[in-house]
Amino acid sequence: MSTHRKPNVTTRSAASASTTTTTTTTTTTTSPPPTIRSPASLSPLLPTRLESALLAIYPLTLLLGSIFSTLSPTTRSIPYSATTQSHDPAFAPSYFATKKNVFNVWFVKKGWFWTTVALGVFVVLNKNMGRGWRKRVKVGVRWGVATGWWVLVTQWCFGAPLIDRGFLFTGGQCEMLQQQQGKEGMGEVREVLTAAACKAVGGAWRGGHDVSGHVFLLILGSALLWFEVLPAITHAEGLRDGRRIMMGDGRVVSVGVEKEDGRDDDEGDKTTGGGTKFALGVAALMWWMLLMTAAYFHTWFEKFTGLLVAFAGLWVVYFLPRGVPGVRAVLGMPGV
């Protein structure tokens, strides 16, 4: 009898071992749940959290200025001229509400000059640029592309600038020429006339949508300075650079892999020089004048379109290179 029971024990042991093996195999092949990444890390074309906070300042500033102009009894009581996009200067609610205030004449109207000067001082004095020329050349290329966008929008675009072309496209025209020549003679004039030329001959630029050139300039110039200076600030404050880039093989990695010295921002130089402070000072004054523009000049939609046009240029210069290696090879990236 005992001779017949031993094989049964062996059989049960073998079956038990087989079950254990199967269970072990099943356990080891179970994959962990997928890692959920934050939306900002899904695409290198999107801003980091720090950049998002910085960019959010601009629409919030326009909103704040517009709310002030709507709620302020003094501002609401003074007639607003759609032709000049401002209040009657004889009854201006503030010094900053007059187009002839010193900051508007010598700073805003020459805003790209001040942007260029501030960027140049920063590039010369910034220690993180190193002794080589490559980083400085890339800054110059980015400045050149941004300058080209500023020229096309506000100065010249194979004739009239984009702002004036948009004004004419939406039904605007020089009112004095309409009175003198009649509607039949307006076709050719509408194609070549600019706001500056209309003003020069004593006409009034009316009837179309006028994108706020001040909003466009102040946002484009100050944000350009911020994006160029930001890597130097993260060096000084010990903040890690959250930017991501796409490599040629499609991998999305941290921007640190392309830095010349291979260091993260929190391992770099801990000082910010006079160039950084000067650039930030110019950017801060631009923000103040943006707030004054939002409070006293243009309609909300004119300011909003100025914001969109400025953001379009910033995206091409500072975000498109992160996702397109070929563009990055030409424009580079600040701090890289």
Q: Which residues are catalytic?
A: 214, 298
* Strands 205-206, 244-246: pairing kind: unpaired
**Helix (H, G, I), strand (E, B), or coil: what is residue 240?**
coil
Separation in Å, CA 274 to CA 144, 206, 278: 24, 45, 6
Q: Which helix (H) or strand (E) holds 245?
A: strand 244-246
Instruction: Tell me if 122 sits within 8 A of 278, measured CB to CB.
Output: yes
Nearest residue to 233 (alpha-carbon basis) of 53, 108, 62: 53
CB-based contacts of 205, cutoff 8 Å, min separation 6: 83, 167, 172, 174, 175, 195, 198, 199
For the chain, the first-to-last Cα distance in angstroms comes to 84
**Helix (H, G, I), strand (E, B), or coil: what is residue 247?**
coil
The one-letter code for the residue type at 118 is: A
The token pair at 88 is 């009657």
DSSP string of 118-186, one letter each residue? HHHHHHHH-GGG-SSSHHHHHHHHHHHHHHHHHHHHHT-SSSS-HHHHHHHHTT-EEHHHHHHH-GGGH
User: At how many degrees (to 10) do helices 213-237 and 49-71 cross?
Assistant: 140
